[in-house]
Amino acid sequence: MTFDVLFSPMNIGTITIKNRIVMTAAEFSLGQASGKPTQRLMDYYEERAKGGVGLIIPGICRVNDMGGASTYTQLSMSHDYHIAPMAEFARRLHSHGAKLAIQLHHPGRQGMASATNSLPCVIPIAERFPGFVNTVFKCTPVLLSLEEKGICFSMQAPSKCELSKHGATRIHAMSKREITGALPC
């Protein structure tokens, strides 16, 4: 049996992928609280690129730190300071012929209510105390309990809608000011 098609190039728009081997998205929680990729995350994906994967899609990448976190350690493209580390990440994969695709993401009603408005406080603490994020993860049952009791901020949705099957226990329709960015979301 031959695998000629599997190892043949493919185009996605104007980008040529060296083969049809795609590593689909999975969230490994290997990013920094700031949303920058860690050395461990880049090493992990670089090994897949060395192994011959043509297209690599890491886990979701938040676009907003205030109300758009699904996990404290997901990648982010919410600030200019993310550009250089993400460019380095892409360069490492490109050096082995692989391409990187990023899923820009805002969880809306399925977000982590306990992270809403708290991530900007967590980031500087995590940068000074590297083990802090592990402590936050250990507090997950407590954070979920706070969410269930409605103590956390509500999550945003584009319009009034029913609650998600998982995630926030309270949601609100975004105001025009939140949509236009006049208020942090």
Q: What is the pLDDT of residues 66-100, one digit of tens each?
A: 777 778 889 999 999 999 999 999 999 999 999 99
For residue 139, is pLDDT > 70?
Answer: yes
Measure Cα distances from 4 to 1, 21, 53, 54, 150 in Å.
Answer: 9, 12, 15, 14, 55
Res 169: pLDDT: 64
Residue 185 lies in a domain: no
Q: What is the pLDDT of residues 47-72, one digit of tens each?
A: 999 999 999 999 899 888 877 777 88
| Residue for token pair 């406080």 | 121
Residue 49 lies in a domain: yes
Residue 1 lies in a domain: no
Query: For the whole model, what pTM was predicted?
Result: 0.83
Residue 2 lies in a domain: no
Q: What is the CATH number of the domain that holds 162?
A: 3.20.20.70
Residue 169 lies in a domain: yes
Choose between 152 and 182: higher pLDDT.
152
* Number of compact structural domains in the chain: 1
User: What is d(CA 62, CA 45) in angstroms, rounded to the nearest whole number?
Assistant: 19
pLDDT classification of 12: cutoffs 50, 70, 90: very high
Res 108: pLDDT: 76
Burial code (b: 16+ CB inside 10 Å, e: under 16) for 149-163 equals: eeebbbbbbeeeeee
Give the CA-trace dihedral at 110, 66, 32, 91, to 10 degrees.
90
Residue 18 lies in a domain: yes
Domain that holds residue 42: 10-180
Res 168: pLDDT: 58
Res 167: pLDDT: 61
Residue 4 lies in a domain: no
Strands 171-173 and 155-157: parallel
* Structure-block tokens of residue 37: 């990729």
Residue 104 lies in a domain: yes
